[in-house]
Structure 1
């Protein structure tokens, strides 16, 4: 099984609003390198992963947050709200296909800083913003580096959560598809047929529900697509354990599988 950007466009760019959103994204000067890479991307490896593969990575991975505590990790606003030109989901998906496997954090870090493509997408932009904050804003270098570790580490744990959910639901007979274009452009974490799935974690800083968080949800971005899409959400309570992958429970996955399997 494989999923291409064409599959995403055919399904989701079926309204004037979504077609315009795609074209604006392609014209955005910040996406000059991003758009060709994402539009050329094909998802294959994620469909071959087993539950055992994901659990093995979760067990082998280095602590993605290191020794950074929340109060330090969230102490540099410019990094807390930092978004590289390549969305984190783009980098993770491209890394998986390039490595042919789900990476541990240490493998992902090696990709981001040593692989030519990874460095362009994440490694060099991350080092640049840290250097800029130190030189121009007087931010302590150690604090800036810790804040970046917190930012990237939490994004990595979020990606593991999405992959775990994908694998678990596919094991339950739900033939979900994923692609970084659908994720970054339309906030769709996965889909099957005309049912789009979003995976959300309640954020203490924002109200729960459809309008939670800083991003416009898929329900609004794709509201005018015809024929209409159906939207499903798995919303997790805020994580309570530091540095562990926060994933849906078996009951939450069972309920989601039933909903997603309805005709």
Structure 2
């Protein structure tokens, strides 16, 4: 049975002065005192067992992660737009999936986040505290709640896209690996051998094409690793249909498979 541990991540990526510094700073950060032990203990296994049909079934049955929130409202509260708890969203989704032993639909993840002790610690309690804090500044509590739903819902959709992509490419014989430590620290969505894969939806606020954006790309974080990595990006156009999971097309997947299977 395939599995990926935090030690696998460190042996693959934490091998240069810059990456070792990134890891050391994260490990000793007081805000990560509760985070690091959980992430370092995490083992990725279930995603390697999922089939494309199972992922597609979750995409069909999931509650719409953005609810009825309009983009204009979801991005109106600046304090929520860029908010994240001490646990990165990728930590929460991966831990939730392994504990539930299934790929969670949004309603499953939400129930976990607001009822399970670890889910409350990772997201439920921090999210509620942030909503109250921002609403106390005089902003409509409903608007703040809508903004939080938009923030978490979009993170969930991003995770679902990544799982779908990994499962599809693995079904084509490409031994892609994933782990939340690699994602959160080095922005590595997945990797195989010396190839690092990034999946993103074109968005000028973050990154699009070769333009600079707010989100630091793995090419910069791993720049001093030797021998150097190869970097492959699967970039989707912005979604045009509200209420449907925005997944890579068969052409996106086939193109990535051809690039990743080459020498």
TM normalised by structure 1 equals 0.97
Q: Any idea what SS the aligned residue of 1:199 has?
A: strand
Unaligned runs of 5+ in 2: none
TM normalised by structure 2 equals 0.97
What corresponds to 2:99 in structure 1?
98
What corresponds to 1:216 in structure 2?
216
Structure 1 residues 1-263: aligned runs within 5 Å: 1-135=2-136, 137-205=137-205, 208-263=208-263
Unaligned runs of 5+ in 1: none
Q: Any idea what SS the aligned residue of 1:238 has?
A: coil
Whole-angstrom distance in 2 between the partners of 1:74 and 1:109: 21
Whole-angstrom distance in 1 between the partners of 2:122 and 2:177: 24
Whole-angstrom distance in 1 between the partners of 2:205 and 2:188: 22
Offset at residue 75 of structure 1 (A): 1.0
8 Å CA contact 1:5, 1:179 repeated in 2: yes
Whole-angstrom distance in 2 between the partners of 1:215 and 1:66: 26
Whole-angstrom distance in 1 between the partners of 2:100 and 2:231: 32
Whole-angstrom distance in 1 between the partners of 2:204 and 2:191: 27
Whole-angstrom distance in 1 between the partners of 2:31 and 2:207: 30
Whole-angstrom distance in 2 between the partners of 1:165 and 1:213: 23
Deviations 1:93-142 (A, max 9, x none): 0000000000011100000000000100000000000011112x111111
Q: Any idea what SS the aligned residue of 1:215 has?
A: coil
Cα 1:178–1:206 shift into 2, 3 Å: closer
Q: Any idea what SS the aligned residue of 2:67 has?
A: coil
8 Å CA contact 1:45, 1:96 repeated in 2: yes
Moved more, 72-81 or 209-218: 209-218
8 Å CA contact 2:204, 2:213 repeated in 1: no
Cα 1:225–1:207 shift into 2, 3 Å: closer
Deviations 1:161-191 (A, max 9, x none): 0011011111111110000000010001000
8 Å CA contact 1:196, 1:230 repeated in 2: yes
Q: Any idea what SS the aligned residue of 1:197 has?
A: strand
Offset at residue 84 of structure 1 (A): 0.8
Cα 1:123–1:206 shift into 2, 3 Å: closer
Whole-angstrom distance in 1 between the partners of 2:216 and 2:230: 17
* Runs of 4+ displaced beyond 4 Å: none
Deviations 1:186-223 (A, max 9, x none): 00100001111011111144562245431110011001
